[in-house]
Structure 1
Amino acid sequence: MDGALARVIRSAADRAVTAEPEVCDLCAAPVADEHPHLYDTEAAQVQCVCRPCSVLFAEDGAGEGRHRLVPRRRLRLPPVDTAVLGVPVGLVFFVPRCDGTVTAQGPSPAGAMRWEVDAAAWQRLATMCPQLASVAPEVEALLVNTVRGADEHWIVPIDDCFRMVALVRREWRGLSGGGRVWPAVERFFAELTERS
């Protein structure tokens, strides 16, 4: 996760400083602002790809399973009782893994905090909320925001989660986050609604 988060932050900072266009990490062709991503399961990193290269990874077994195309689905769910997963934070995302494990990751001023989640508890939650059974391992997540009265539950691409972690890290000030981080988080979730 740290590698992927560092890459998102570095990529955004580099583009802001140099104003160089982003390129495909596979063939070096320029990519549009909105472009597909691959997730490298071994390195736990997101890679930018052009549309032609993304087609190479449209099937799950492509690239010997190491690289997975990140879906673009953003689905808002009704409230989900994630307390059964035992993660005591209000801004968190849950990622099922190909091996059946589930991790929870939450943003902090220092990057992402990570916890292992009881896989049986995840399965029980998926029974109560059948949409969770459709979350693509490694590349999609259940993103939850219950901070400051919010009650948002989304199935989102993993790169959205990394962007949210980078946003919190960039905007956090002092011990409580300061005056910029929570409005930025609200804007992030408003943009999810617009993009869904």
Structure 2
Amino acid sequence: MTVDGALARVIRSAAGRGAAARAEACELCAAPVPGEHPHLYDTADAEVRCVCGPCSVLFADDAAGEGRYRLVPRRRLRLPPVDTAVLGVPVGLVFFVPRSDGTVTAQGPSPAGAMRWEVDAAAWQRLSAVFPQLASMAPDVEALLVNTVRGLQEHWIVPVDDCFRMVAVIRREWRGLSGGERVWPAVERFFAELTERS
């Protein structure tokens, strides 16, 4: 997934819920879309695309469009603590995306965007055996989102666009070298909103 392209869309949407949100349009038919709208994952370009409700219905079946577009689901499921240390990712705020090719990527937000690296697929399979909910994740479009920063234990299966929204929050609120006073309360609000939306 091209983080910069998807992130730019999320930042535009989150930053301007007023005029910018009203100006958003479906990337398939150009119809206006509201602030809360469906997304498609474009497998050819590895990007998230904004779509209107009627266009999203056309891609409810993963085989639609010869499999090029996959509808990003709306499922938000809070999990008990997942021991992600076995995945070798030393970051307290990170999301893991299983891919349709069998690989798994980890992405951690930073003030410059998302840092991305590949996770050992065998380690992911072992973790999925312990937490069967992980095996139910839709490849490319759902993520395991983890926040263990400042003693929190937030573990969620979320739509991948939620993860890009979180990255946008970090970029918008980060100040200085350590993040400043605004970033961590904003991250806590983000997870509180996840609870409300689940």
TM-score by length of 2: 0.94
The answer to whether 1:118 aligns with 2:120 is: yes
Does the 8 Å CA contact 1:70/1:140 hold for their aligned counterparts? yes
Out of 47, 50, 63, which is 2:49 matched to? 47
Partner SS, residue 189 of structure 2: helix
C-alpha displacement of 1:15: 5.6
AA matched with 1:155: I
C-alpha displacement of 1:16: 5.0
C-alpha displacement of 1:74: 0.1
TM-score by length of 1: 0.95
User: What's the counterpart of residue 72 of structure 2?
Assistant: 70
C-alpha displacement of 1:40: 1.1
User: What's the counterpart of residue 90 of structure 1?
Assistant: 92
Does the 8 Å CA contact 1:3/1:44 hold for their aligned counterparts? no
Structure 1 range deviating more: 128-137 or 6-15: 6-15
AA matched with 1:107: P
Does the 8 Å CA contact 1:143/1:156 hold for their aligned counterparts? yes
Task: Give the RMSD, CA atoms, in angstroms.
Answer: 1.4
Identity over aligned residues, as a percent?
84
C-alpha displacement of 1:19: 6.3
Partner SS, residue 105 of structure 1: strand
- Give the paired residue count: 196
Partner SS, residue 156 of structure 1: strand
Out of 187, 191, 194, which is 2:193 matched to? 191
AA matched with 1:93: F
User: What's the counterpart of residue 181 of structure 2?
Assistant: 179
Does the 8 Å CA contact 1:4/1:44 hold for their aligned counterparts? no
Structure 1 range deviating more: 84-93 or 4-13: 4-13
User: What's the counterpart of residue 145 of structure 1?
Assistant: 147
Does the 8 Å CA contact 2:143/2:159 hold for their aligned counterparts? yes
Alpha-carbon distance between aligned partners in 1 of 2:5 and 2:39, rounded to the nearest angstrom: 15
- Kindly report which structure 2 residues correspond to 1:162-173, keeping only aligned pairs within 5 A, or say none: 162-173=164-175
Structure 1 residues 192, 19: CA separation in 2 closer, same or farther (over 3 Å shift)?
closer
Unpaired runs of at least 5, structure 2: none
User: What's the counterpart of residue 7 of structure 1?
Assistant: 9
Out of 115, 136, 139, which is 2:138 matched to? 136
C-alpha displacement of 1:18: 5.2
C-alpha displacement of 1:10: 3.5
C-alpha displacement of 1:23: 1.8
User: What's the counterpart of residue 100 of structure 1?
Assistant: 102
